[in-house]
Every structure is written in C-alpha cells, then in structure tokens.
Structure 1
Amino acid sequence: MKISFLGGAYEVGASCILVNIDGKNILMDSGIRQSMSKDPMPDFRTIQENGGVDAIVISHAHLDHIGTLPIISKEYPNARIYMNNMTKDLVRVLLYDSLKIMNNREAEIPLYADIDVENMLNRIFTINYQVEFEIFDDIRLTFYNAGHIAGASCIYLKGKECAVFYSGDFSVFSQKSIEGAKIPRLRPDIGIFEATYGDKLHSNREIEEERLIDIVNRCISENGHMLIPAFALGRAQEVILILKKAMNTKKIKKVNIYVDGMIKDINRMYKRNPLYLKNVIGKKILRGIEPFYDDNIKPIQNKEQRESIFKSKESCIVISSSGMLTGGPSQYYAEKLASKDNGYIVITGYQDEEAPGRKLLNLLKKSPEDRTLEINNKIIPVKCKIERVGLSAHADKGEIKAVISRLMPKNIFLVHGDSNIISEFSNELNKEIQRRIYTPKSGESFDINIKNPRKQFKKNINAVMDNNEIITSENINLLWMFVRENYNERLFTVEELMYIWYGKYYKELCSEDIIKDLQELIIATPYFDNDIRRLFLFKACSREDVEEALKPSELKQNEVNELAIEYFKEYNFKKIGLILGEKKIVLNFDFPKAVSDSIKNKIHELEEHTKWKVEINEQTNKNAAEILIRQFLENTSIKKISFFPVENEFVVQLNETYSNGKHICDEFKKITGINLKILDVNNNNNNIIKGEFIINTSNAQVIEQNKAFSIIDEEFKYEEFRPYKKSIKTNGNGKFIELAFISPVIGNRYKEKVKELAMKTGWNFVIGKSANQNEIINFAIRLCNRKNILLKKNPSFNASSLQVILKISEEIDDKLFEDIKNEFEHNTGCVLIIK
C-alpha cells in the first residue's frame, strides 16, 4: 500500500493525495494553491513516475481541492472522476469562475481552457452519500457526509489490501444550511485527517452568531455601511441565513442586505440540490419557497446597482465574494468602504497569510493613524471598523480527536494544516492514543504494509424484487409495499431502493439518469419520506400516512402562485403576494384604481378554483405615479409633486407658466384612476387646502394669531377631543388657521364649534384632512394591551381608507371585537379590521 502526498500536507492549499491500492492508482482531490507567491500546482510529476491515474475521487468543491482537476483530467482522460451531484454542480461554477479570473489578470497565462473544463465535466460519475459503489474489481468507494459545505464528503475506499478513510475538510457541528458530519463506525486501516484547526477549540457557534448580530446592530445605529467578505461557497450562505433569521425574529432592524459575486451562482446550485441541505432549508426548496432572498435580501444585478449602494445615506450590508478580498466584487466594496468612518468590514473566515483580508486583520495591532491597505494596486487609509467573527466550517481539535477515536485506524496521517499546527497536534495526539501517527510533507511518499486488514462491516439487502420494468408513478406503490413489508422503516438511499426493485437486473438497467428520475419520483410521491437530518435517505411511509396523503389535498404555495400568474397575466400586475396563514392572494398594482372591473370575474373564478381569498392591495405606487407625471411634463420645470390620498389626487406645482394641462390630466386619470391637478407659477402660492374651508362671515376684526390660538385652546379645554396641532397657512385669499385632529373624522365633529371660532377671532379656518398615523397606531396598541389581545406584529394603517389592520395571534369572540371596534372608532374616527 503506497500513499503519496502531492500537496496540502504540512500546508493548506493544493490538496492532492495519490493512493495505490490493489494495483490501482486512485487520486483523492486535485487542488490549487491560491497564494501568488507559491507554485499553484501539486506535485504531478510523482503521478507520472508512479504510472499515472486510474480514477479520481473528489471530496468537495473548494478550489484548494479541485483547482487543478481540469489539468490532471486532461492528462489522464480515461480516469473516471467520482463525486456527488451537489459537488458536480458546484465544481462547474467554481472552475469556470476561476478560469474567468485567470483570463482577466494581466500577464497571467490560464492553467487550463474552457474545453478542458467541459471535457472534465463529461468524465464525472456521480455517487450519492452512503452508496457503496464498485469502481474497480474488489475496490469499493463510499461517500459520507462531511459537514463543512454542501456536498462535502469523507471518502472511504475498501480493497483487498486495506481500507482507507480520507476526511477531506469536515465539521461535526451543524450549520444553518447543512448538517454536521455523519460518519458511521467504519474500520479503516489508514486514516487521513485534516488538521486545519488542530491547535484550537472553537468558541460556541451561537455566541459568535450573536456577536455578528451585535456588530450589525451597532452599524445600523450609526447609519453605517458594512461589508462582509465571504467565501462564495459555504460561508456566504451561512451569513445570509444568520442575518435573515435575525431580521425575522426582530433581533436586528429591517435593513437592505445585498448579495454579490459568485455567491449568487452558488445559491442557485444550492436550490438545485435540496437533498444535500439541512432539513428546514431543503424542505422549503422542495415546496418552492425561496431560501435566501426576500424583500430585504437582494442579489446585485448590475454594475450600476453596485456603484450606487454606498452612495445611499441609509444603512446597508453587502455580502460579497471573495472571502479573503483576493478578487471578486468584495475588493471593490472594500476599496470604497475602508476610508469611511462609519464603515465596517467583518471578516468571518480563514485568511491566507498574504491575502488582503489577513493584512486588514493585522491592522488591528497598529494605531489608527498608521492603518493603510493596498488593494487593487491602491494604498487606502483605513478608517473603517474592522471586526472578526468566528464562523469556521472546519473541525476543531476536539472534533478531530473525536472522529479519530471513533474510527481508530492503526495508521494516522495528519494533513491540511500549517506546519506548526500539525507538529503541535501530532505530539498531543501521540500522548493520547497508541497508533502510528504520520505528519507528511508535500512531495513525500509512504509504503504501508497492512499485514492483517480489518474486517469490514457489510450492509445486507437480501430481499429484492428482481423487477426488470422501469419504475414509474403508476408502479412505485409496488416498491413501497415491498420495502414496507420486508424492511419496515429502515432508511435507504435512492440507489439502494433501485437495487431492491431491479435486483439481478440492477447493473444492466441502472444509470445516472434513471437514478435521478427515481429520486424526483420518490420526492413527488407520498410513499416515501426523507430522514429528518439526512434528506438523501428515505424510508417507506406507514399505510396510514400514505392513505392520508392520497386524499385530495390543498394546493401547494408554488401551485397557487402559478395559477394566480396565469389568471391575472392580462392585467399587468406588479407582484403577487401570498399570505399562507390566511390563505390569501394579494394582487399588487402600481395603480389599483385603474384596474378593469373585469378582474372581478377572474377573482371569483380563482377563489372558486383554489378556495383562497383574493384581494387587491389598494395602495397606489407613488413612485410610479411621479415617474409618469415627470414623463408627461418632461420639458417642464417641476417645483413639487404632492399626493392627497383622501381626495384621490396628485397636485403638481410648476416653476413656470403652463396652459395645456387638460389632456395630460385626462390621460393620467385614464392610466392611474387618480385625479391630477397642475398649478403653474401664476397660482403656485395658492397652497392646496387639505380640508373644508370655513370662512369668517362676521365683520369681526382679525385678532393677533397667538391670541387666536389661546381662544382655540380655551374653547377646546373641556372637549373630549382637541386639535393636536394649530398652524398658520396662506392661500390666495390670505392667511388662515388649520386645525389638525387625530383624524379628519374627529375634526368634522367640531365643525360648528370651528364656525363659532371663525366668528370670534375673525380668522378663516380649515379642518385638516391628514390623519395622525403614529397616534392612531399607538392607540390601537394600547387598546389591544388593555384588552389582553396579543398582536403578531404592529398594526398597519391605510391613509386613503382610514383603516387600521390588526394581525392577532389567536381568535377573539365577536362581542369583544365589536366592543374594541366601537371604542377605537369613537376615539380615532378610523375603522378597525382584524385579520
């Protein structure tokens, strides 16, 4: 048994291990060194000296494990490449992106070409987790979930000569997007283990996540901008999900979070492979729910959007690759942010010694005035705050020891770690376990004589169906009945279920496409269910569960959404929203008042079809209306545009004369359903009176305004409701007093009293038509607290209809609601609606 370490030993980078087992040369990983000062390639000459490569096995898709895969595959095109489906999708994204970066660098000759990547991808054969696959006679390969990132695998090779376990990069603890490593009690003779953090015990993950949330809150409170450089694969998805959950649980305020760089492509690959993700994320994707983006978390679409982000005065967060600031948009953001006093750069992962990210962290040791950073060949003074949060996806010292103790191979090799860490950890390990411990360096080879290979456990699947028909939705129930009868709730991979069906025909009929088709079929039917922590494993459901599932069921969220799009596509809606708890479809239009009445028939039809309630959001998109107004008046100088929802009217004040507005107003009303009034410079001073004008009809002299205010206060001193604001306004007829009440409905109750005030003071009056939104909402909250009603979220207010909408956690009886509604309407003049 010979093992050659071609890279990634006594170092981090260019992981590449050649194993000769039973006369076959099997290469495990083929990575690259990303440091500009080191040779990027593994020691491929050793491969040539040892007779080439018969097969290649890949642990996961990080570049330090796959970066030279197109090169070695081109050299040995007959060597089949083994990895799982998730890793294959990620490899495609990572390698094409790496090639693009190499092509864009001046004076750098790319290590491979497009065609090399394409040919390499065609040589890949995918094997899912926990499927034992014979890659050569008597040599079997199995992948086990390694944690670390989506698709990461521990590699287990079993031959006549010995059994080899290679951990790749692994992590025992669960993350937000993936489960931790799941490694059974294997019996390897040789174990190769990563030791990246063999000198550390990680801090508590939840504490580090809380630290990140605290830093974000601090940034928001300072109205600052934040950059979180993150590895596109793994770390970025974790950061997105941490912040998304924090916003949903109100640990941080709603803030715009922008996602940029290769992260967007990786997110797409995650969504294509839900079975490799954590249960809660994978099940969401299977139900058609977007796992990463929402109204606050948005992908950057273009260069213009990227350049505008930090120009905004509002606080925002950018999550961008690369994680070490060695390339990608994160370099651009760091350059713009570093010199800002209210800027934050938060490092969340491993930083190479020469990476700009490492140099940034080293600035923490310097005084503020001496802090500079070279990025994109520019020297930038660093005034921003620099923070580090430990979100490592590698095993720490305790976890590495735990996995070694579980497997206990006689021969242990420690790789993938800095030299001093490997040396220190090996000495510590040597004192604790009685095994042969090796600390190889890149370029070294070892001949290991395994005299008595350990006996291997064998997974027995004795009962098979020997069926040579293709599995379809019509006959999959036969597979379910057979598995349920013979294996009860035992967990199987898709491949194992296929073997149970085909039996002796398995090798003849099995293919990648058929495996993929069966996986989709199993997910879509009610006969099998995923394991709660390993979505790639399935068990046969109970007869009761199947019968329940086969009953007519309600439409899924994505099905309702697709139906709504189909029903209303002719109405030019802006967005369709679904409120799941209420089974409600909300149609959003820029101009709801202009929607054709024919939509009512469509709404009725869809409600009948889906049993979901359909409503139109009555809010006008003011931004869209203003854009339309400016298009109509594109060559005209506009002073101000105002919207009065109660009057259903936009008013435009101009800085010049204008005489041809009727046609524009008519066209605007036709498009939007809203009135438009245009005031040119000649009547610009005629401020719009938002309320009924009450004119003084007496001959009383107009008294001084402060005295008038005192009289108003005295008159309302003993009234139940009083104006909360008194203002002096001016129109073409002179000055007048506007009285603002909590709502115009309350104000109109005092119309006669206001007429008397006009007689007493000599002033003209207006009862304001605006409502005091904050006070109305606060009153609603106080009323609910007093009546012991628990709200799901703060009330919302519709100014045009004077409606306040409450979302409550539990139902209340009709009598209590009627009492609350009446009290609220009496005190605010607004209508209360409970949903």
Structure 2
Amino acid sequence: MTTTNQITCTFAGGADGIGASCTLVDVDNTTILVDCGIRMNAPDQLLPDLASLNGKHLDAIILTHAHTDHTGALPLVCEMFPGVPVYATAPTLDLITILLYDALKIAEFERENEIPLYSKMLAERALSQCVPLGFKQPKSINTITCTLLPASHIIGAAMVHLATSSGNVLFTGDYSVTPTSTMPSLGKPLLPVDLLISESTYGTRLHEDRKIAENRLIDQIREIAERGGHVLIPSFAIGRAQEVLLILQKAIRSKKLPEIPVYVDGMVRNTCAIYSNHESYVTSSLARQIRNQSNPFFTDTITPVTTQAMRSGILNGGPCIIVASSGMLNGGASAMYAQQMLGNESDAIFMTGYQDEESPGRKLLSLASGEKQTIELFGSTLDVKAKVATFSLSAHADRLQMASFIESIRPRTVVLVHGDNESRMSLKRSLQTSDCLLVKNGESISRSYPIRRNYHSSISHLPEKEDIDRIRAIIGAPDSDHPVKASDAAQVWFGCRVDALQIDQFVQRLEEMGIVRRDDIRRNFFHVCSSGPVDSPLYKLEQQLKEQNPKGKLLEFCMKQKIDPPVFTVTSRDGYYFGCASIIIDTKQLKSSEYKALNKKNAEQMASQELLSLIPENNSVSPEFQDDEHDDIIDIDAEEKERLRLSNPKGALFEFCAAQKQDLPSFVYKEKGRLFCVKIISQSGSFETSWYRSDQKKIAEHGAASAYLAHTTACMQQEKKEVPVNQPEEIEQTVRTGTDPRLQLNNLVQSKQLCSFGYTQGNCETIANQTRFTLYAWALLPDNSKIESSPKIAHSKKEAQYKAAADLLERFYTLD
C-alpha cells in the first residue's frame, strides 16, 4: 500500500500536564493549530511555547471547547496571525466571548499589580476572526477536511477530525462518556482514525457512580441545612455549575431538600444564559425546559446574586446553598465566600470537580482526607472548622471509559496528553495499541498511513424537504415512550441495509430538518419531534395556538352554556395526527373538518378553532369581552406584577396540587385588545377567584393562582385546627360498635350501591415532632362516575381514613 507525506504534530503545551493545551499540525502543505490555552495556577508557566509558532504560516485555528486551558491564549495567537480563521462551535464562541472579557475584568479589579495578558483590543480582534462551525459539517482547509464531532464534555465541546492524504487525525479534546443533566452520552465517532490524540486527565481513576454521588451530595446538603448552616459549592462556570443547579432543582422539587434559597454568583450567572440560545446542543429534557422558560437554571428558589449588598447579606441569613465560580477557589466569588465560611463549623464547602495540584481547592481536599488541620490559603493561615468534602461529578471520562472509547475506534497510533505522567502511564497500560506515545511539551512526532477512501463520499439521495411526508410515514408520529431505531428507519429509506456512517448521515439530515432528535443515552435511537424547529412555521403555529388556546375557549363556552363538552376524535397515520371535534348546540351538531398536525394537542386546538367560528352569533364566544358590571376584575399594577413574577404562584399551585394529589383547577381566560383576564375555578365548582387583569397573560395567571392558593391554604389550616387530639381512641370504639364510616362504605359495596372504594395518601409532614397525615377517600359508583372526599389531616393514618370516610359518606348521601 502506498503512503504520502507525513503528518507532523508539535506539542507546544498541554502534553505532559493539564493546562496550556496547544498542538500544531503540519500536513499537505497546510498548518493548523488545535487549541491555545493557558495554565491557571502556574504564573511562571502561564503560556504554551508560542515561540514554536514563529516563522510558521497558519491556515486555521480550531478550538475544541471554551475552557480557558484550551482558549485563554487566543488573543495572543491571533495577534501573531491576524486574519487567520478561528473555527469552533457556536456555543463555544459565545462562551469564549464571556471568558475573555471576564479575564480582563479580573485583571483590572482583582489583580491590580499584575500586567494583563492581553488588551481589550486584542480580545476584540480575536473574536472578529472567529467562525462558527456546527457538528458533522465538513469544512475544507486547503486539502484537509475538518469535521467537529460531539465530545459531551460541556456545551459545544467538540472532537476535531482532520482527514488528510497522509491519514486521519482525531483530537479528542476533553470528553465524557456518560450522560448528564445537560449533555447526552458520547456516540462513537464513525469516521476512520489513524492518529488519535487523547486526553488522559483521570487515567488513574474510576469514577463513583454518578447517581450515588448526586444522592450523597443532596444528603449532606440537607444535613448542613437542618443544623442551620450554609453550603458553598465552588463550580466551574461552564458545565459543572449548570449540572449542580439542575441537581438541586430536582432535589427541591422532589422534596429531598427543603426549599432553602440557592444563590448563584460569579461568572456562572452569565454563562447560564448561553444554554438558552443553543438548545440543539443539550439533552432533550433541558431543551424542553428552555422552550418553557428562557433560563432553565433559575427558579423562585434559585436566584442570581445581582448586587454587592445582596452578596454581603447572604451569610448573615439562614440556611442556604451558594453555587459560585471559580471551581478551584483560585479567585472569583467562591474564594470570597470560602474565606468567610472556613472558620464556621456549621458551614460546609463541597467540591465537585477537578482540582489542580497548586490550587486552593486541592489544598482544602487534603484537609478532607485528614492530612492537615490548618491550611495556608488566601495569603494567611486558617484553622478550618467547616466541613469539607468532595463529590465525583466529573465531566471527564475515567480510565476504563477512556480505554473502552480508544479501543472501539481502533487507531493505529495513540498519543496521550492532558494528564500527569502517572495518569498517562496508567491509561497506556490499559490499551492494546502497540504504537502508544507519552510525549512531552516541545516534542514533535511524525507519522504516515495508507491512503483510505474518502469518507465523505456521497450516498444516494439523503432526505430533502420535499420528502418530509414520506419520512414521517416511515418514522411514525411523535411518541416519547418509544424511540425509533436509526438503522431500521435508514434501511426502509434506502431500500437496503447500509453501513454505520450512512445511518449517521441519514439521522443527521433528519436532525437538520428538525424532524427528529437523538436519544440522550442510546445514540443509535431517535425520537420524533412533536414540533418543528424554533424558526419554522410549525413551531410558530404551535406558539400561536398555545397563546390563543381555542380549545380552552371552547371548553369555557360549553361550561357557560351548560352543554356537553366537545368530543375530539384524533387518529395517527402516516407520521401525523389527524383530529376533528364536534359539539351539540340546541340539538344541532356542529363538526369541524379534519386537521393534520405534528402532535395531538395541536390537532385538537385547530379543530377547536374551527368549531368556535361555526357557533351561531347569538351563542358565539368572542375573543374580546366587555366588562360585565357584575364581573369582579382586579387590575395588577407594576409593583404587584414584579412580586408575582418573582414568586411564581402558578408554579407553586401546580406543585401544591401534585403534592396533595389534587386535580388541577381550571383556568378561564378572556381577552380584550392587549389585556388578558384570568380566573380560576375549582374542579368541584365550589370556589372561583376574581378576574385578574394584566397586559401579560402569564402575570394574570399568576394573580389568579395567588388568590386560589391563599384560599386553599386557609381552608386547610382551618381543617387542621379542627383535628381532635384523642380521636384514635374514639375511632377504635366506633369500630367495635359498628358505626365506623369505613364499615358503612364496605356495606355499601356489599349491597352494590358502590362498586369499590379506597384511600389516596397525600403528604406526611412532621410539625413540632408530631406527624400529620393527609388522606382522601374515593368511591366508584355503578355508573362509572367517581366521588372523592375533601383532604383530611390527622395525627395517624387510621384517624385520617376515618375522617375521609365520613366525609365521603356525607357526599354520597347528598347525591341527586
């Protein structure tokens, strides 16, 4: 087999340690620089060997991801090579913009005696040379084809594949294998690899099971909060902080953590917003959150620190959690909090990421292992009383994961970088590859390989926009519970079995068309999207229907006219949902046409929209309304609007109903011009709020939800006051005398007046060392209708059953 010119790689930094990653690739008369970072905790060796670039002609700079150890020297390199394009994914470029300007800010305000590494002008010049490049979008750089592949490390992180006439090179950058809350699992690269340059950060470690680590973190946070302490979680502003925030969100929502404040400080505040602009780069669950709220990381409980006064008061308050950068405590807000918390034995500092050998975070971890009792930190000797612990939430692969990944792609040569000598040697011993190198900074290697066929060779007829109906007929309608196997769909499309690369190209095309989204864990499966891309007409139609809510207006009309609700008929065929609706008014049936949509809800909304237009004028529901003199309308002013926005009572109402296992009440809407009126009616119809009016629909919903919550909470408090202390003894007596309402329910079942009955348990809470149970009783009637008691609270489960059964009996005997 013939070979061509050699591939030469020169490692200017990041080869035998972590930091200042920078590698020069020379092949086919083309020179490409991959990464140009700095060392964060080594001021005497801050930069890679940029002198090795002197006299070179660069054709391109490619960045694997945004972390400073891979990008921090970019302004200096761009000064050396003005006009040279810098390729990276769009999220990476957005994050670099924040990082470069943040470094200038730190140099100005926190390190006044130090000379900045670069000026604002150089940062702006570097950013002007940046060009976004999407995943799996081949880019020609002279005779070399560059392709970025997902690395699952942080948002936008990429592996760099270079296809040359002398062989195929893959730079892994930093990568992770297992899925997280923000990143899907890593898929195996399908492009051929001859020379692999891989990170080896955790070459000596096996990670703790992630779920176990998360649960351990939550348990220890709860322990600190219960004793009134504060918890600091120093986090890398990109990736780790967002993971931690989503873990905390889930724990608070599931009641594993109490609803204590979570404060987000430092650069984390700004980087969180980047995720909202790049939903295609994150997990499907996070993408759904982004579509529902602009910033999915902040809630009523989790808030950013926006002022110095707010920051100063946090540690003077009650229990709280602080998520702040930097992750190694080498500066920023986390270092400030740590200095104040270390001497307080009721507080805790929990580390969740990699700690450099010279970082303050690594020194603290030596305390956690019992090696020291005092610590030299932040320029002084500190007696550490706060609890210090570490949790493995790494965004890097461990030794077994890296070895499995490397062996799976079968490279001819492996170069291990981005790790200390012990880590690299440990990983090398785990590999079968005979040509495995441990290079040092400043070294070069050269290799050449047999020529392979062009991996970008075209395959017959990938799907186009005009093929969308056939594609949907193949893959079916959206069904989140049943993903589609990519190879099966590709085989039907091409009419024969195809190789893994063709399957990947097929799915990639469907993703580009906004039809499917890969499964976050099983990357060889995909889910059919229930809406189009954000910029598509389908998505805009969905948002328009969601805003207008014709189905809700139709249901409101039926309720007011005291007629049966509409009947919806929805079927699935050829990859779409087809729906129609009908209602009966004055013995006359009105029926809509059949509408085609991507999801069931949209089909029902479109059918409802037509039905509204068919209703006779004397019965019609106009989207506008006239103020009825009998309507109780409350206008929401600017101050109340801000309070409602921050307190999110609608979300609190949904959580309350879920916790109490109650059906959600009905939201009723009216519109006039740009004003929205909303009220809430309980499912039983026994209570409804006043109308709340605002120029924003969501604010009007919040106003009504706040009133509904206040009423419901007051009713429950009243019921709590009525709970007798000695009731259990009385209950046992009634059981013996045969007057127990639970026995009466059983007698009704025996006489076939009821089909069945049972109990549903709500919350179990402990107040002042006394446990209280919440229960509902329900019964199924012979006509298949169901009746329920109101929620009953008592000191024991038996006591709550007694009260709920008595209430249910009363409701049964008062039925018409």
> What's the TM-score, normalizing by structure 1?
0.65
- Tell me how far apart the structure 2 counterparts of residues 40 and 810 of structure 1 sit (CA, whole Å): 70
What secondary structure, in the 3-state scheme, does the structure 2 residue paired with 1:128 have? coil
For residue 79 of structure 1, what is the aligned residue in structure 2? 84
- 1:492 is displaced (CA, Å) by 2.8
What secondary structure, in the 3-state scheme, does the structure 1 residue paired with 2:116 have? coil
- Tell me how far apart the structure 1 counterparts of residues 191 and 741 of structure 2 sit (CA, whole Å): 60
CA gap of 1:777–1:208, structure 2 versus 1, over 3 A, is: farther
Counterparts in 2 of 1:102-117, with a 5 A limit? 102-104=107-109, 105-117=111-123
Counterparts in 2 of 1:427-466, with a 5 A limit? 427-429=429-431, 432-433=432-433, 435-450=434-449, 452-458=450-456, 460-463=458-461
Letter in 1 for 2:508: F
1:418 maps to which of 417, 420, 423 = 420
What secondary structure, in the 3-state scheme, does the structure 1 residue paired with 2:249 have? helix
Q: Does 1:548 align with 2:597?
A: yes
- 1:67 is displaced (CA, Å) by 0.4
Q: Does 1:790 align with 2:741?
A: no
- Tell me how far apart the structure 2 counterparts of residues 389 and 311 of structure 1 sit (CA, whole Å): 27
What secondary structure, in the 3-state scheme, does the structure 1 residue paired with 2:33 have? strand
What secondary structure, in the 3-state scheme, does the structure 1 residue paired with 2:99 have? helix
- 1:614 is displaced (CA, Å) by 7.9
Q: Does 1:131 align with 2:164?
A: no
**Residues 226-246 of structure 1, C-alpha deviations (whole Å, 9 max, x = no match):** 111111111111111112111
**Residues 518-575 of structure 1, C-alpha deviations (whole Å, 9 max, x = no match):** 8732882689xxxxxxxxxxxx9924479233636389xxxxxxx9x99956794431
For residue 277 of structure 1, what is the aligned residue in structure 2? 282
**Residues 62-94 of structure 1, C-alpha deviations (whole Å, 9 max, x = no match):** 000000111111221221111111111111111
- Tell me how far apart the structure 2 counterparts of residues 541 and 195 of structure 1 sit (CA, whole Å): 48
- Tell me how far apart the structure 2 counterparts of residues 34 and 777 of structure 1 sit (CA, whole Å): 65
For residue 45 of structure 1, what is the aligned residue in structure 2? 51
Give the count of matched residue pairs: 615
For residue 146 of structure 1, what is the aligned residue in structure 2? 151
- 1:250 is displaced (CA, Å) by 1.9
2:398 maps to which of 396, 400, 403 = 396
Counterparts in 2 of 1:768-783, with a 5 A limit? 773=720, 776=723
- 1:776 is displaced (CA, Å) by 4.7
What secondary structure, in the 3-state scheme, does the structure 2 residue paired with 1:18 have? strand
Q: Does 1:521 align with 2:554?
A: no
For residue 321 of structure 1, what is the aligned residue in structure 2? 325
CA gap of 1:588–1:262, structure 2 versus 1, over 3 A, is: farther
For residue 59 of structure 2, what is the aligned residue in structure 1? 54
What secondary structure, in the 3-state scheme, does the structure 1 residue paired with 2:415 have? strand
- Tell me if structure 1 keeps the 8 A contact 2:352–2:393: yes
For residue 378 of structure 1, what is the aligned residue in structure 2? 380
For residue 11 of structure 2, what is the aligned residue in structure 1? 5
Q: Does 1:23 align with 2:54?
A: no
- Tell me how far apart the structure 2 counterparts of residues 119 and 819 of structure 1 sit (CA, whole Å): 67
Letter in 1 for 2:230: H
- Tell me how far apart the structure 2 counterparts of residues 187 and 412 of structure 1 sit (CA, whole Å): 14
For residue 234 of structure 1, what is the aligned residue in structure 2? 239
- Tell me how far apart the structure 2 counterparts of residues 256 and 356 of structure 1 sit (CA, whole Å): 26
- Tell me if structure 1 keeps the 8 A contact 2:167–2:451: yes
- Tell me if structure 2 keeps the 8 A contact 1:145–1:183: no
1:817 maps to which of 781, 788, 798 = 788
What secondary structure, in the 3-state scheme, does the structure 2 residue paired with 1:480 have? helix
**Highest Rg: 1 or 2?**
1
For residue 343 of structure 1, what is the aligned residue in structure 2? 347
CA gap of 1:604–1:93, structure 2 versus 1, over 3 A, is: closer
- Tell me if structure 2 keeps the 8 A contact 1:187–1:455: no
- Tell me if structure 2 keeps the 8 A contact 1:484–1:541: yes
- 1:185 is displaced (CA, Å) by 2.9
**Residues 595-653 of structure 1, C-alpha deviations (whole Å, 9 max, x = no match):** xxxx966669999x9998983634999xxxxxxxxxxxxxxxxxxxxxxx99xxxxxxx
For residue 584 of structure 1, what is the aligned residue in structure 2? 667
- Tell me if structure 2 keeps the 8 A contact 1:166–1:191: yes
Letter in 2 for 1:36: A
Letter in 2 for 1:31: G
What secondary structure, in the 3-state scheme, does the structure 2 residue paired with 1:463 have? coil
- 1:43 is displaced (CA, Å) by 1.1
- 1:19 is displaced (CA, Å) by 0.6
- 1:221 is displaced (CA, Å) by 2.4
Q: Does 1:359 align with 2:428?
A: no
Mean alpha-carbon deviation: is it higher for 2-11 or for 414-423? 414-423
Mean alpha-carbon deviation: is it higher for 245-254 or for 319-328? 245-254
CA gap of 1:774–1:151, structure 2 versus 1, over 3 A, is: farther
- Tell me how far apart the structure 1 counterparts of residues 136 and 371 of structure 2 sit (CA, whole Å): 53
- Tell me how far apart the structure 2 counterparts of residues 196 and 359 of structure 1 sit (CA, whole Å): 19
CA gap of 1:46–1:777, structure 2 versus 1, over 3 A, is: farther
- 1:426 is displaced (CA, Å) by 2.2
- Tell me if structure 2 keeps the 8 A contact 1:229–1:324: yes
- 1:161 is displaced (CA, Å) by 2.2
Q: Does 1:575 align with 2:644?
A: yes
What secondary structure, in the 3-state scheme, does the structure 2 residue paired with 1:311 have? coil
- Tell me how far apart the structure 2 counterparts of residues 796 and 352 of structure 1 sit (CA, whole Å): 44
- 1:340 is displaced (CA, Å) by 0.2
- Tell me if structure 2 keeps the 8 A contact 1:192–1:415: yes
CA gap of 1:2–1:357, structure 2 versus 1, over 3 A, is: same
Mean alpha-carbon deviation: is it higher for 402-411 or for 115-124? 115-124
CA gap of 1:465–1:818, structure 2 versus 1, over 3 A, is: closer
2:94 maps to which of 89, 93, 96 = 89
**Residues 132-158 of structure 1, C-alpha deviations (whole Å, 9 max, x = no match):** 22233x321111111111111111111
Letter in 1 for 2:385: K
- 1:425 is displaced (CA, Å) by 2.6
- Tell me how far apart the structure 2 counterparts of residues 54 and 132 of structure 1 sit (CA, whole Å): 16
- Tell me if structure 2 keeps the 8 A contact 1:345–1:385: yes
For residue 797 of structure 2, what is the aligned residue in structure 1? none
CA gap of 1:251–1:496, structure 2 versus 1, over 3 A, is: closer
Counterparts in 2 of 1:736-755, with a 5 A limit? none
- Tell me if structure 1 keeps the 8 A contact 2:263–2:302: yes
Q: Does 1:492 align with 2:497?
A: no
- Tell me how far apart the structure 1 counterparts of residues 228 and 293 of structure 2 sit (CA, whole Å): 35
**Residues 331-365 of structure 1, C-alpha deviations (whole Å, 9 max, x = no match):** 11101100001010111111111111111112235
Letter in 2 for 1:817: E
> What's the TM-score, normalizing by structure 2?
0.66
Counterparts in 2 of 1:644-723, with a 5 A limit? none
- Tell me how far apart the structure 1 counterparts of residues 463 and 708 of structure 2 sit (CA, whole Å): 61
**Residues 339-398 of structure 1, C-alpha deviations (whole Å, 9 max, x = no match):** 001010111111111111111112235578x423422x3333211111111111111111
CA gap of 1:260–1:541, structure 2 versus 1, over 3 A, is: farther
Letter in 2 for 1:106: E
Please list every run of 5 or more consecutive structure 2 residues that lacks an aligned counterpart in the other structure.
1-6, 475-489, 494-505, 515-531, 543-572, 579-594, 608-623, 625-632, 655-663, 670-675, 679-688, 732-739, 746-756, 793-801, 812-816
- Tell me if structure 1 keeps the 8 A contact 2:777–2:804: no
Report the RMSD for the aligned CA atoms in angstroms.
4.7
Query: Identity across aligned pairs (percent)?
Result: 28
For residue 710 of structure 1, what is the aligned residue in structure 2? none
**Residues 690-730 of structure 1, C-alpha deviations (whole Å, 9 max, x = no match):** xxxxxxxxxxxxxxxxxxxxxxxxxxxxxxxxxxxxxxxxx
Letter in 2 for 1:337: M
- Tell me how far apart the structure 1 counterparts of residues 249 and 741 of structure 2 sit (CA, whole Å): 29
- Tell me how far apart the structure 1 counterparts of residues 50 and 84 of structure 2 sit (CA, whole Å): 15
- Tell me how far apart the structure 1 counterparts of residues 302 and 702 of structure 2 sit (CA, whole Å): 28
- 1:169 is displaced (CA, Å) by 0.3
- Tell me if structure 2 keeps the 8 A contact 1:226–1:345: yes
**Residues 45-65 of structure 1, C-alpha deviations (whole Å, 9 max, x = no match):** 11124x231101111110000
- Tell me how far apart the structure 1 counterparts of residues 726 and 574 of structure 2 sit (CA, whole Å): 52
- Tell me if structure 1 keeps the 8 A contact 2:197–2:417: yes
CA gap of 1:221–1:601, structure 2 versus 1, over 3 A, is: closer
